[in-house]
A and B are shown apart, each in its own frame.
Chain A
Amino acid sequence: MSALPAVSTRGLCKDFPTGEALTRVLHDVDLDLATGALTMLVGPSGCGKTTLLSIISGILQASAGTVTVYGTEITGLSDREKVAFRRSNLGFIFQQYNLLPALTAAENASVPLVAAGVPLAQARIEAGKVLERIGMGPHLKKMPAQLSGGQQQRVAIARALVHQPKLLVCDEPTAALDAQTGLAVLELLRDVARSAERAVLVVTHDSRIFDLADRIVRMSDGRLEPESNQPRSVP
């Protein structure tokens, strides 16, 4: 493990307003994620996994505490700086894929490059290469509606990787897929984590894929559980 953690949270708290009062859904979360590893965040529904993931990825404001991603304390950035930080350092994978229905697979995968200023035609070629590497070569010009769930999630993975981000965050990436496809998608994500200077954080309920984690972090009621039985050690 490298000395500098990919992600490091300290004393992270999050309160949501519920009626008049505030409800605390994250309590003093201290978490370090290593580079080159796939970490799974698991726990019962409503324990705060998505909330934690959202704060780590800089799309939700923490109520207290700090998040540092590859040396940048993102909790101290302005909204504008956060957008720029996400654009160059983060890849997102959603349960619902969230592809643009009017764009082809290659165009969808090229969105982060276009957002960073690469012309669409050129970005499409880059995205095509990434899609080919993950077995989507024959489907570059198809629309999302013409693809299966697993194929759409692969397009989403290509979109999350196309700009070479250092941190990949995935919320329930296999929930909408059958067991076999889910496993294949997770294997792909693990390879991604191990093949580059990159960290992957996967929030999941899906016990069928736990085996593929380098590390499992358990959560309940907004707190991390002490880690004891690691399924395997970080390489």
Chain B
Amino acid sequence: MPLMGEIALKMLWGDRAKYLALVFAVTFATMLMSQQVSIFIGLMARTASHVSDVREANLWIMDPQVRYIDEVKPMPDKQLFRVRGVQGVEWAVPWFKGLAVVRAPGGIMQQVILLGVDDASLVGRPPRMIHGRWEDLKQPDAMIMDRAGWEYTWPGEPFVPGRVVEVNDRRVAIVGLAEASPPFVTFPVVYSRYSQALKLSPTERNAMSFILARSAPGDDPKSVAHRIETATGLQALTSREFEWRSVSHYLQRTGIPVNFGITVVLGFIVGAAVAGQTFYIFVLENLRQFGALKAIGVGNTQILSMVLLQAAVVAFIGFSLGIGGSAIFFESTNDLTHLRGFRLHGEVIAATAAAVFVIMVIASFASIRKVMVLEPAIVFRG
């Protein structure tokens, strides 16, 4: 087919003001949508951060009434042995999750999330250590704090191993710093051995919060979970299932999704409206020219491809700028502790591209209709 593309692009670029307005509208929508969805996903991932941080276990066992990770219903110790006895369970260890108050010299008082990992295997810890070694937890009255928690409690102070604090009237030394995935609640996270954690927490909570287990190689984790449930009457979930449980709890029980949803929809609507309006005016102003082209012998398919090319170029440039803007935002905020872990996911980029595509289809629909039904005879009218 004859190439009117170059002429279509010159028409577009010739009208600098409208071209910029179009690109801006798409850039704005792209940035707003991709950035908000990414932050939303990051925030939701935080609700399951304690689960996703544990890499060794693939099964989480808990009281049947627990609906998400932040809801803790202690279980009697004997359940641990029953779980260990279920066929297909390679190993099972206790895990503690509770709240505690850290007191430090200088009047510092800080509420923390206290996690107790297995005494022997240290299963239940996050994967990355920044200062010290996990083995140091085996010293008496030792705990490891997460980096963000340290910076939050002692802003600007470099880490010094062995700093002594008081937890539940016990003196404990902070022997290392770990990198924990950011939790939804902004409290610092401290890790200790399970037996130590029981001593550090206020008495009424001192029992097993979760059992972490691994299915035997070759056994399907889901069917092992099912067997555990039948054998113990407890609730057993795969790590993925439990993560998703926690995320969906926040999705269903809070206004967060609605809030982000409104912003995303707003970005979509504003983008589509501004781009559609501007594109329509652009085509209207060029209507006589399009009519002249039709009279001269430019067919409807050619006219259509000209308008589609104009729309596609605007969409592509606007989308690229918008995604670039979002990427720069996440890149430059990655070092900020409170925004860590938020990043632009490939899926979000793809979904935003699809949304921009729909925006441009909506935006160019009226314009395309207008030029397609245009009678070339109008060019001889005054």
Q: Which residues from chain A sit less than 8 Å from chain B, CB to CB?
A: 50, 53-54, 57, 59-60, 80, 83-88, 90, 92, 94-96, 98-103, 107, 111-112, 114-120, 159, 171
Distance in Å: Cβ of A106 to nearest Cβ of chain B: 12
Contacts of A101 in B (CB 8 A): 14, 289
Known contacts A94-B292, A107-B7, A120-B7: does B380 contact A171 (CB below 8 Å)?
A: yes
Contacts of B204 in A (CB 8 A): none
In the complex, what distance in Å separates the CA atom of A111 from the CA atom of B376? 16
Contacts of A53 in B (CB 8 A): 380
Q: Are A115 and B380 in contact (CB under 8 A)?
A: no
Q: Are A116 and B2 in contact (CB under 8 A)?
A: yes
In the complex, what distance in Å separates the CA atom of A63 from the CA atom of B347? 57
Tell me if B66 is interfacial: C-beta within 8 Å of chain A: no
Give B16's nearest chain A residue, CB to CB: A102
Known contacts A57-B295, A92-B296, A96-B288: does B14 contact A115 (CB below 8 Å)?
A: no
Tell me if B299 is interfacial: C-beta within 8 Å of chain A: yes
In the complex, what distance in Å separates the CA atom of A114 from the CA atom of B2? 7
Supply 28 A–B pairs (Cβ within 8 Å), ascending by A.
A53-B380, A54-B377, A59-B295, A59-B377, A59-B380, A60-B375, A80-B299, A83-B294, A83-B299, A85-B297, A86-B295, A87-B298, A94-B379, A95-B382, A96-B288, A96-B379, A98-B291, A98-B292, A100-B289, A103-B10, A103-B14, A111-B298, A112-B296, A114-B2, A115-B297, A117-B2, A117-B3, A120-B6
Contacts of A112 in B (CB 8 A): 296-297
Q: Are B296 and A87 in contact (CB under 8 A)?
A: yes
Contacts of B299 in A (CB 8 A): 80, 83-84
Tell me if B253 is interfacial: C-beta within 8 Å of chain A: no
Contacts of A87 in B (CB 8 A): 296-298
Q: Are A111 and B11 in contact (CB under 8 A)?
A: no
Q: Are B288 and A98 in contact (CB under 8 A)?
A: yes
Distance in Å: Cβ of A214 to nearest Cβ of chain B: 22
Contacts of A103 in B (CB 8 A): 7, 10-11, 14
Contact count A vs B, C-beta below 8 Å: 99
Q: Are B4 and A114 in contact (CB under 8 A)?
A: yes
In the complex, what distance in Å separates the CA atom of A103 from the CA atom of B380? 21
Known contacts A60-B377, A98-B289: does B10 contact A115 (CB below 8 Å)?
A: no
Tell me if B308 is interfacial: C-beta within 8 Å of chain A: no
Q: Are B293 and A115 in contact (CB under 8 A)?
A: yes
Q: Are A90 and B297 in contact (CB under 8 A)?
A: yes
Label chain B's interface by main secondary structure: helix
In the complex, what distance in Å separates the CA atom of A108 from the CA atom of B175? 78
Known contacts A96-B288, A98-B288: does B380 contact A50 (CB below 8 Å)?
A: yes
Tell me if B13 is interfacial: C-beta within 8 Å of chain A: yes
Contacts of B3 in A (CB 8 A): 114, 117, 119-120
Please tell me which one of the listed residues B15, B296, B377 contacts residue A111 in the complex, with CB atoms under 8 A apart. Answer: B296
Please tell me which one of the listed residues B2, B4, B286, B297 contacts residue A86 in the complex, with CB atoms under 8 A apart. Answer: B297
Distance in Å: Cβ of A113 to nearest Cβ of chain B: 9
Give B297's nearest chain A residue, CB to CB: A87
Contact mask B288-318 → A, CB, 8 Å, 1/0?
Answer: 1101111111111010000000000000000
Contacts of B11 in A (CB 8 A): 100, 102-103
Q: Are B381 and A115 in contact (CB under 8 A)?
A: no
Please tell me which one of the listed residues B4, B6, B382 contacts residue A115 in the complex, with CB atoms under 8 A apart. Answer: B4
Give A175's nearest chain B residue, CB to CB: B382
Give A101's nearest chain B residue, CB to CB: B14
Contacts of B380 in A (CB 8 A): 50, 53-54, 59, 94-95, 171
In the complex, what distance in Å separates the CA atom of A115 from the CA atom of B7? 10
Contacts of B286 in A (CB 8 A): 100
Distance in Å: Cβ of B20 to nearest Cβ of chain A: 15
In the complex, chain B residues 5-28 whose Cβ is within 8 Å of any chain A Cβ: 6-7, 10-15
Distance in Å: Cβ of A14 to nearest Cβ of chain B: 11
Distance in Å: Cβ of A144 to nearest Cβ of chain B: 10
Distance in Å: Cβ of B25 to nearest Cβ of chain A: 21
Among B3, B4, B296, B381, find the residue whose CB has the most chain A CB atoms closer than 10 A. Answer: B296
Give A94's nearest chain B residue, CB to CB: B379
